[in-house]
């Protein structure tokens, strides 16, 4: 995923990518239609492939394409606008806006730094203490701003390595990779936007899949063990050459922040109100995602008065538009019947195969696609047809979405997932160390999913419908 900010000079590679971006989608128009492969579906695939190629290559502004995509579905593919723009009636785009807004407020008031520093001091601030402290900070921050912890934790890891004057090597790799997984893996057991995105994408075939915040945590509770295990792996894989003690550094940073301000306390009070809301979803029946929109906006109201105009102005609205457009790929495919087309073609090939075989094939497919497509592009393009297939085998769509969310995290190289690329781009992790860790994580994830997680879901009756 990329966002163009300045005009770049055109070279032969860019010209070639632009030609591919236009030629491949147009080639779909040469495929003859029939009762199954209708003209609407053909045009839908043409428009979708063009958009996905621009997301992959980054050769046209991402937000511009995100705006044009749903309009193209309505105008060119003759899809009903109610289905195409349905994602805006769901909480996901607003969830992203609310989360980014709250992250801005917490960053400005220094609450993000205060939570992170105290988490690391709590675990001793030695090298291992830093690693385990990042694991605590990741969970604490993810609870407050799910899916929006990458930038603060990446900056924290980089600043820490520079402050301790660490040379690029095992120590910096360990700290950076710990910060990376602490910003992403909590989504395996804490309610987040990716989960909502997947449920929205599969809604056309699976219907509404509603889990409370507590249910999401309960069904994925075993993933907490794997989360902790990965930090233990880091302490063994990236052992420091000598002792490291950052206690004085973090104490000094906390002293610079001073006593907790009244604004910080008011933000914490608001977060407490949000948690009460999340813990009581089974009673008020309001989807948890709406809470991450409504409660942060209360920071503008009398009694709080914490947020500024800049906090809302600096929200990356392009990300919300992009996410809604990606969700529209799934809702449009559902109303046009694409999931049934894919299932009709693939089900005969999968006949007689077991459930574990289906999970294995899809895990391998997503792992391979990560080399070519962004995670959001993979989810947008394949969630609906894969959900159609999963449901034909009696697999619970909620478990299926959780599985997909885990599978897209299985990468090897930095470019495969822009959120990991952010950590790598600070330049304090060798490529060899990044690849070694991510390869180990991907293998360990596969073992965890097939040996522990899926059997756990089967045991508690969550795996199958």
pLDDT at 321: 93
Q: In this predicted model, what pLDDT tens digit does every residue of 355-397 receive, in sequence order? A: 899 999 999 999 998 887 778 778 887 888 889 889 889 999 9
Is pLDDT at 127 greater than 80 in this prediction?
A: yes
Q: What is the mean pLDDT of residues 225-238?
A: 97
pLDDT at 9: 56
**pLDDT over 90, % of the chain:** 59
Q: In this predicted model, what pLDDT tens digit does every residue of 410-457 receive, in sequence order? A: 999 887 888 898 899 888 999 999 999 999 999 999 999 999 999 999
Alpha helices (H) along 207-316: 213-219, 222-237, 247-257, 262-279, 281-284, 288-297, 309-313
**In Å, what is the CA distance from 447 to each residue of 360, 370, 454?**
11, 19, 10
Q: What is the mean pLDDT of residues 42-49?
A: 94
pLDDT at 105: 94
pLDDT at 8: 53
Q: Which region, left, alpha or beta, applies to residue 244 given φ > 0 means left and ψ of -120 to 50 means alpha? A: beta
* Confidence tier at 10 by pLDDT (50, 70, 90): low
Phi and psi, residue 126, nearest 5°: -75, -175
Q: In this predicted model, what pLDDT tens digit does every residue of 159-189 receive, in sequence order? A: 889 888 899 999 999 999 999 999 999 999 9
Is pLDDT at 71 greater than 60 in this prediction?
A: yes
Specify the pTM. Answer: 0.81
CA distance 239 to 127: 9
Is pLDDT at 218 greater than 60 in this prediction?
A: yes
**Are 387 and 400 contacting, i.e. CB atoms less than 8 angstroms apart?**
yes
pLDDT at 4: 46
Domain boundaries of the chain, sorted by first residue: 1-79, 87-459
């Amino acid at each position: 995923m990329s966002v163009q900010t300045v005009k770049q000079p055109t070279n032969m590679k860019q010209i070639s990518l632009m030609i591919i971006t236009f030629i491949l989608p147009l080639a779909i128009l040469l495929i003859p239609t029939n009762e199954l492969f209708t003209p609407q579906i053909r045009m839908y695939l043409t428009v979708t492939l063009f958009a996905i190629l621009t997301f992959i290559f980054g050769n046209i502004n991402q937000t511009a394409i995100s705006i044009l995509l749903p309009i193209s579905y309505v105008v060119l593919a003759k899809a009903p606008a109610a289905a195409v723009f349905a994602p805006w009636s769901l909480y996901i785009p607003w969830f992203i806006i609310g989360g980014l807004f709250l992250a801005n407020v917490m960053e400005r008031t220094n609450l993000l730094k205060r939570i992170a520093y105290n988490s690391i001091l709590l675990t001793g601030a030695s090298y291992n203490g830093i690693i385990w402290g990042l694991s605590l900070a990741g969970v604490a921050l993810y609870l407050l701003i799910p899916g929006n912890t990458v930038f603060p934790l990446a900056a924290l890891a980089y600043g820490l390595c520079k402050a301790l004057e660490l040379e690029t090597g095992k120590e910096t790799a360990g700290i950076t990779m710990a910060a990376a997984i602490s910003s992403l893996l909590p989504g395996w057991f804490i309610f987040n936007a990716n989960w909502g995105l997947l449920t929205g994408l599969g809604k056309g075939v699976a219907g509404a899949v509603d889990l409370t915040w507590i249910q999401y945590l309960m069904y994925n509770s075993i993933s907490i063990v794997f989360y902790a295990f990965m930090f233990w792996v880091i302490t063994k894989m990236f052992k420091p050459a000598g002792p490291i003690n950052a206690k004085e550094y973090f104490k000094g940073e906390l002293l610079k922040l001073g006593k907790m301000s009244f604004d910080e306390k008011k933000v914490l009070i608001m977060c407490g109100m949000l948690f009460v809301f999340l813990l009581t979803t089974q009673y008020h029946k309001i989807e948890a995602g709406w809470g991450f929109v409504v409660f942060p906006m209360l920071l503008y109201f009398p009694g709080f008065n914490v947020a500024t105009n800049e906090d809302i102005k600096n929200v990356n609205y392009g990300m919300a538009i992009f996410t809604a457009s990606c969700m529209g790929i799934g809702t449009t495919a559902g109303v046009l019947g694409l999931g049934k087309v894919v299932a009709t073609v693939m089900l005969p090939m999968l006949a007689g195969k077991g459930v574990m075989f289906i999970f294995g094939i899809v895990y391998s497919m997503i792992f391979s696609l990560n080399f070519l497509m962004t995670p959001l592009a993979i989810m947008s393009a394949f969630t609906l047809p894969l959900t159609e297939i999963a449901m034909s085998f009696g697999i619970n769509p909620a478990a299926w979405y959780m599985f997909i969310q885990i599978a897209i995290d299985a990468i090897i190289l930095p470019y495969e997932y822009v959120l990991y690329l952010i950590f790598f781009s600070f330049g304090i992790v060798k490529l060899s160390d990044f690849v070694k860790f991510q390869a180990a994580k991907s293998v360990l994830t596969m073992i965890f999913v097939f040996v522990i997680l899926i059997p756990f879901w089967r045991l508690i009756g969550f795996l199958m419908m």
